[in-house]
A = this chain, B = another copy of it.
Amino acid sequence: MPAEAKVDASSARQEQRPESRPDSPPLTQRQEARRRRILHASAQLASRGGFDAVQMREVAESSQVALGTLYRYFPSKIHLLVATMQDQLEHMHGTLRKKPPTGETAAERVAETLMRAFRALQREPHLADAMVRALTFADRSVSPEVDQVSHQTTAIILDAMGLEHPTPEQLSAVRVIEHTWHSALITWLSGRASIAQVKIDIETVCRLIDLTAPGDAK
């Protein structure tokens, strides 16, 4: 019934899905390529002018795809930008993993990691703007995707803490840290808080970790 061969081990040998995405319908190579072109175009346009510069017609044109196809892959601009964020987060997680934070306490390590991520975002403030605005503007129809971003963020923070089996209290602290992280990003992006202020906020919230794990971990 389908079209554009779902890649299996037959003719064109290629792994089903290079990424670890648990997609329902596996994509063909060409579809995977389209998807990547779209995400690339999205990130590129976002890097220029932020949220407003990511215009669906332009994304379609840049990625050599018809508008209807773009909407088949990403049912809305918000979906597209949240997917772009997932993509960037994977990069980021990989990068962060390579150089683990060096702080003594878990709180220090988390703050260090988040500030490192923050510095990465500073290098592409427009892109950060587009992704974060999309994330917070997302409504219920994007919940699964936003949740995945959230889980990825949680994973990064837990990595930094160096915990295998966090307690419920610690998970609560992580949730609050994520809240603070997102909201602080927004205030910075909209020019209502300085970078120094963001740093203070992150360090402040990270103290919550010490509250739940007075000893330490790892």
Contact = CB atoms under 8 A, between A and B. Distances in A.
Contacts of A191: 140, 143
A195 interface: no
Contacts of A180: 176, 179-180, 183, 205
A187 B201 CA distance: 20
Contact of A183 (B51, B169, B178): B178
A122 B218 CA distance: 41
B143 A192 contact: yes
A137 B186 CA distance: 9
B208 A146 contact: no
Interface string A174-216: 0110111011101100111000010011001101100100000
A183 B138 CA distance: 13
In this complex, the member of A137, A204, A211 whose beta carbon has the largest number of chain B beta carbons within 10 angstroms is: A204
A60 interface: no
B175 A204 contact: yes
Nearest to A137: B137
Given A143-B192, A180-B180, A191-B143, A204 B137 contact: no
18 contacts: A133-B137, A136-B136, A136-B186, A137-B137, A139-B190, A147-B192, A169-B204, A175-B200, A175-B204, A176-B201, A178-B183, A179-B184, A179-B187, A180-B180, A183-B183, A205-B205, A207-B208, A208-B208
